[in-house]
Each structure stands twice: as C-alpha cells, then as structure tokens.
Chains A and B, each alone.
Chain A
Amino acid sequence: MKVKKGMRRARGDLFFELVMGSFLLVVALVTLFPILFVVAASLSSPQAVIAGQVWIWPVDPTLKAYENILSNPKLSLGFLNSAIYTILGTITSIALTLMMAYPLSKLRLPGRKLLTWMLVFTMLFSGGLIPTYMVVRQLGLLDTWWAVVLTSALSPWNVFIARTYFRSLPDELYESATIDGSGELGQFFRIAIPLSSPIIAVVGLFSAIAYWNSYFTALIYLSDEALFPLQIVLRDILILGNLDLTRVFDFDAMVRRQGLSDLLKYAVIVVASAPLLVLYPLVQKYFVRGLLIGSIKG
C-alpha cells in the first residue's frame, strides 16, 4: 500500500514537473526571442531587416553596423564614459552603503532610530529638481564625472538590505573578536567584510545597473558632449527614425537620418546591453543568496 501511494505521488510530481518545465520553457523562449532577434538583426543587412526576413538567424550577415559604431566617436566615447561612471560609481556606492549599513546594524548605536528615519525620509520625499540642481551647481559638480557618480551614490534601499544582512551575522563572532583584542574597525574589516561577499555582490550589481543605465542625472548635470554617457547617445540614435513630423523642415537631415537609424538601431542596443548581460551570470550565484538573506530576516 505504502509503496503504491508513494509511486502515485511520484507520478504526480513528474506530471507537475513536466507542466512546470514546459511552462517555464515557453516563458524562457518568449524572453529569449527579442534578444536573439536584436542580435540577429544587428548582424543582418538593413534591407533584410526592413523586409522582415530576419527571424532569429542573421540574413546577409554583415558587420557594417559594428564597424560604424566603432568608428563613431560619439558612441565609443559614450561607451568609455559609461564604463567610467559605472566602475567609479559602483565602488563609491559599495563603500558608502557598507559604511552606513554596518553601524546601523548595531543595536547599541546612539541615534540609530533618527538616522534610520532620515534615510526613510529621503525615500519618500526629495528636495525637488531645481533645488537639487542648484546644490549640485554650487558644489561645483556640474560638468564633472562626480555629478553623475555622487548624486546617486547612496540608495537607502541598498542600505536597508545590507543592514539586515549584517544583522544576520552571529553576535558571537564579534564577541570572540573583542575577546581577542580587536577594535570596532578591526571587526568591520576582518569579520564583517570578508563574510559579506553576497551582499557586496547585490549592492554592486544594483548600483552597476543603475549607473550603466543612468540617463536623467547625466541629462541635467552634464552640458559637455565629451562627458555624455552611452545612454544619451543611444537614445539620440534610437529616436532618429521616429521623426517629429511637425518639424520636418530639413529634408536632407531627414534622409540622412533614416539611413543611419536603419543601419545602427539594433547594433547599438546590443552594444549597450552586452556589458550587463555578461556581468550578470558572474555575480548571479551571490545575488540570490545575498538578496534572500538581506530581505527575509527583517
């Protein structure tokens, strides 16, 4: 009897797994298709793309679009700038987040509630666009890398995840360190940091994504074209094809732009998303763990 029951349950599991598996497969295909299409389209001739012959395999393969991007000074400079903002910003962001989250995780920190409340406050209210702009201007940050890096360096959300994570580390560890003669700084660098690679990965990935995709801060704080990140250049190229009809008074520009847009559209998307697509699998194993520990034990 027992065996039969067990087998029936196994069969039920098998059925469930089959259904689940095929459902997830469909979801995966639906998710993958646009990516594959964009990659294939970026490698195909523009004519084939326009004619709708491209499916998930390149038609008349050509690297012309990528050659064009490499030789386009705006795009290559934008790529470089975005890389700088992302690396610099991510390092700054991790450092600031850990430095804020670690003390907040200590229940004996005086004024802990006030600090937490101040953080929450910024999640709900902001100073508004123009006052913030004026602060940035008066700090002399306009038209510098720091305008992009510093204005979004600390995310309260990340601080809270990191704080919860630190709290999950057993107090006994710190106690034993104190007994062995370690001070607060020693505890932070020798115990907390080495144990927090998952949360560093989470905070790092979150901020790297945010910096790589940053558009608005660059839009308002940067006026020097040599500092524009990839997202601004990318957007400029993607909207080329969508002409504002009330403004078609420069016919030559319209003709030229249609061609440029047809040629570059897809390759630019690939170039702009590739770095994050490459980065994600590398940190993914930490990602799930860190996010889980950081969020559940609140």
Chain B
Amino acid sequence: MKRLPLVLTFMVAMSWLVFSQVPKPEWLVTKNLPLSSQKTTFKMLIQAVPEVADFKTNWFTTWLEAKTNVAIDWIVAPNDSDAAKQKMNLLIASGDFPEIINSMPFDAALEAKYGTDEKILLPLEKFIDDPAVMPNLNAWLRKNPSFRGQITAVDGHIYGFPNINVCYHCTLQQKMWINQDWLKKVGLKMPTTTDELYNVLKAFATKDPNGNGKADEIPLIGATDGWNSQVDPFLMSSFVLDPGMNQKLKLLVDTKSGKVMSALNQAGYKDGLKYIAKLYREKLYYGNSIIQKNDQGRQLLASGVVGAFMGGYPGVMIDGADKALWRAFVNVPPLKSPSGYSSTPFYVNDGVRPDRVLFTTALKDPKLAARWVDLFYTYEMGLHKTNGEPVVRWHWASSTETGLDGKPAIWVPGGTAKVADPNGSWQQQGIEFATAEFRNGQVSPPGVDIGSPDSLEPMLILASKANERAVRTDVVIMPNVSFTSQESEDLQIQRVELERYAESQRIAFITGATDVDAGWAAYLKKLGELGLAKVTSTYQSALDRQNKR
C-alpha cells in the first residue's frame, strides 16, 4: 500500500513523457521577466465586455502583474460602443488622459483626430522596428510585411498596435446554407449553377418538401442585419464579384492593372440583377428579406418552412440548441452563372485590425509599455489571456494530437475545471494573437461529428475549403486603405448620395419596380452624375499611396 503513491507518481511522469509535446520556444514568452525591477503602474482605458466580471480582480490581471511587475490602474468604459467613445472623448477633452488605450472602438477618423491633428497619441514605429524592444511583433511584421500599410496612418506613423485574429473561414464569409433533407425529398442534387439553384428553389416551393400538405415553404430567405445574411451578394457573386453587405459601392481592384473599379456599373451586375429579379418575381426569394431583421429570419427557420438562407455561419439564423435543424443545413459552394463565371470574395485583410492598443502622451515609460505590449504577441500569453489558468482551463497539445487542419495540434481547450469562471480571463479583450496557425492548431478530437453544432469550427473550415476554389485571381475586393482627412471629408459627402441611390435602385430592379433592361441606361447615367468615377479615383490614390509604403 505504501508504494502506491510512488507508483502513481511514476505513472503520471510516464504519461507526461509519452503524451506531452514540449511547446516550441517561439510560442512562449521568452523575454526576461519581470519586465521591471520596481513596480510600475499604467493607467489604462478598456472597454468592458459582459463576459468579464471585473478587470481589476480578474485572474489574468493578477497573474500578469505577478509575472511582469507591471500593474494596471483601470478605467473601464461600457460595452456599448457609442457610450464608450463618449467616455473616451470626455476623458481626453478634460485633460484626464489614460496612459494606454486598450480595446476601444477606435477607427481611422479617431486615429486621425487624436494622432495626426491633436498629437496626443504616440507614434510607435521606433518601438515596433526595434527587435530588442518588441521582438515578437517585429518578427511577425517581418513575416507578414503586407499588413504594415494597413496599420499605418496617412501621415506615415503607426499609432496603434494591431489585433491579430486570422479566422480562416471568416476570410470566406459569403456563404449560403441549404436544407439537405429537402434536397433529398425533391430528388435533386446540390446545385452547382445558378440555373440548378433556380430548379431546386422551384422544387422547394412546389413539391411540399416539409411534408405537411400545405404550400407553406419559403425557398430562400435573408435579412438586412445579420452577419452576411443579405440575399443578394452571394447570388451576385456568380455574375460579378460582390464584396458583400458592408461595401455598398461594391469596390473591386483589377489585379493585373491595379485599377480600382465598382461592380455597380458592370455588365455582370446587370445579369445578376436580372437573375435575382427573376427569383423575386417567382416568389422563390422571400420578399421580406430586403426589410426583415435577422431575428425574424431566425423565427422563420425555427418554424421549419425555410429551404435555404444566407449567413456567415449557420448560427446567424439557426439556434445551435436545435440540433436537428442545424444538421439539416449544409454549405452551398459558389455557383456558376451560364457564362461560366463564379467568384467569392476573399477577405484577406480582415484578420488584422489596427488600433487595438494605443499610447497617449501621458505615458511616462513608453518603452516599458511597448515591451509589455509585445508579450501579448505570443501564443502562451494569448492562451493565458483568452482562456485563463493553464491545466485548469487549457493545456499544450501532446505530439500525438492533430489540429483542425490535420497538422500537429498546438493546444487543447478545457482542463480540470468543471464550470466556467466569469472572472478567469480577459476573453477577447486586449491584444489577440490568434494567427491562422494558432487557430487551426486547436486540437481536433478524433471521430469528430461534423454535423453537430459543437463541431462548428471544423465544419466551417471544410465548407470554406470548398468555397475557396471560387476565389478569383483576376479581381479582388478593395483592401482597407487609409485616407487623408480631406479625402475622407470629400468621400463622406460624395458617398451618401451615391450609396443611397445604388441601394434604392438595387431594390427597385430586384422587386421589378424598374425593369432592369429598360432602366439600365438611366441608372448608369445617374451613377455617373453622382460621381462614381470621382469616388473610385479617390480610392485609387489612397491605394497607390498605401502600396508605395
């Protein structure tokens, strides 16, 4: 009996030897810790999130302070973005600055105002470009030089440290979901062309696939406000690349000539409108989709009458708790139009967001703060920050485990803890460093059931791989560019009218209020009068400027 503990220890030690993969050194916080021999406190403004109970008493805050000897004096702004901005403006206007601004709803306009104009933000290039101060971020930027332009302000300075969360399936977020049970019922295959889709929707409408004897089926729905749940962009991309709902001017770049153009006045757009108008006319496209809210769409889905819908992921319209419904819907890869064209937008830039953390002129020790920020650009710090205590909430993967992409896994979520801790980590607040390698390095349990809502990420990766084949090389969506304050002022005025006209005409064409063929010439003329060319040329010069950098 006395030997038992010894045996147990031995067994534990053996299992570690066999199963644990020593994390690679580049994943770890390698810098000498603590960062400073004497305790330093930074005054930091952060936006609250409901998932984090209190930043002051948070487990990660305590851990971080103990490791780095850097403490934080918190100023917490509400989760509501407008309120948070108001609070930040008030703090700055009253001269009561925070030293560091973290995870606030910052945008290019605010960056230009506080950085370029009022000069209360510190330029950060000298820290970023010094491998002795910021080794991790420096290494990442050298590996991914294309993102440098994106995080640089128009005046040539970098004012904010980026947030990196490269969600692979989000780069292919224009998705359509179809009810595979219904497909079977009506005896049709997964559509691959727009004409096949038309036949499928027609069959959904007429062949009573839900089997209740009533013609209550709605073949295809969308909504105005969900994540990629507008109906048109997916269908339009079969005729001309459609950058999606947030890009009302549908700006594209021709890769060969580098020219910025708009899809709005192209022949493909006209064909697309005709096709969508046909679906609308024959009631295959649920008319309310152009006005309804996402929640109304969810309600329709839950009542079992919908054949297909648009959405960045099924959860946009389906509640994961309804497992049977979730299982029924599968991804529809991009469709070919009669001319053979097909496309899907590739949101290459979306994983990297500028201005996650900014330094103000109130900061007393910017170099120390930069070293502190740099720690976050490691997987080890990210896992602690987002997931919490190691072993209890996550652990490194063993060498036998594979990740979501089939390569060796990096980490395993979950641990000895049975219940969630509302104050165990910062969740998504603070700098994230989730590269594609990291996200796909999450362990994939063997024998994963792809249809279950619990396997969301592996399912989306598979779906996105299928969709990626339709990504075009001859034309891409307009990348994020930064404007001078004069340019953005001009754009604001020019864009309002133009966007409003384009939107209302799109609706008019689709609903049949204006016939596409008859109204096309007048539409093109009006677009020209409203200055579409002027807008594209402004974007062109911003893009050229960014490419030069």
Contacts and interface: CB of A to CB of B under 8 A. Distances in A.
Interface of A: 46-47, 50-52, 72-74, 129-130, 133-134, 137, 219-220, 223-226, 228, 232-233, 235-237, 239-260, 262
A131 B274 CA distance: 58
A137 B456 CA distance: 48
Interface stretch (B27-35, B81-89, B526-534): B81-89
Interface in B22-61: 48-51, 53-57
Contacts of B57: 226
Contact of A224 (B74, B78, B423): B74
Contact of A249 (B78, B170, B321, B422): B170
Contact of B165 (A51, A52, A250): A250
Contact of B351 (A129, A228, A249, A260): A249
A133 B94 CA distance: 8
Contacts of B50: 74, 233, 236-237, 240, 257, 260
B54 A225 contact: yes
A242 B80 CA distance: 10
A248 B312 contact: yes
Interface string B74-107: 1111111101001100100110100000000100
A256 B353 contact: no
Interface stretch (B184-192, B252-260, B298-306, B402-410): B298-306
Contacts of A236: 48-50, 78-80
B225 interface: yes
Contact of B94 (A50, A130, A235, A250): A130
B129 interface: no
Given A133-B94, A255-B456, A51 B303 contact: yes
B303 A52 contact: yes
A46 B303 CA distance: 14
Interface of B: 48-51, 53-57, 74-81, 83, 86-87, 90, 93-94, 96, 105, 163, 165, 167, 169-170, 225, 227, 245-246, 295, 298-299, 302-303, 312-313, 315, 319-322, 350-351, 353, 422-423, 427-428, 432, 456
A250 B299 contact: no
Q: Is the interface of B mostly helix, strand, loop or mixed?
A: loop
A73 B298 CA distance: 30
Contacts of B227: 243, 245, 248, 254
B403 to A, nearest CB: 16
Contacts of A252: 428
B90 A133 contact: yes
A225 B299 contact: no
A76 to B, nearest CB: 10
Contacts of B303: 51-52
B321 A46 contact: yes
Contacts of A225: 48, 53-56, 74, 76
B225 A245 contact: yes
B74 A251 contact: no
A138 B98 CA distance: 17
B51 A256 contact: yes
B119 to A, nearest CB: 20
Nearest to A218: B78
A253 B427 contact: yes
Given A255-B315, A256-B51, A223 B74 contact: yes
B170 A137 contact: no
A244 B79 CA distance: 12
Contacts of B170: 248-249, 251
A174 B86 CA distance: 51
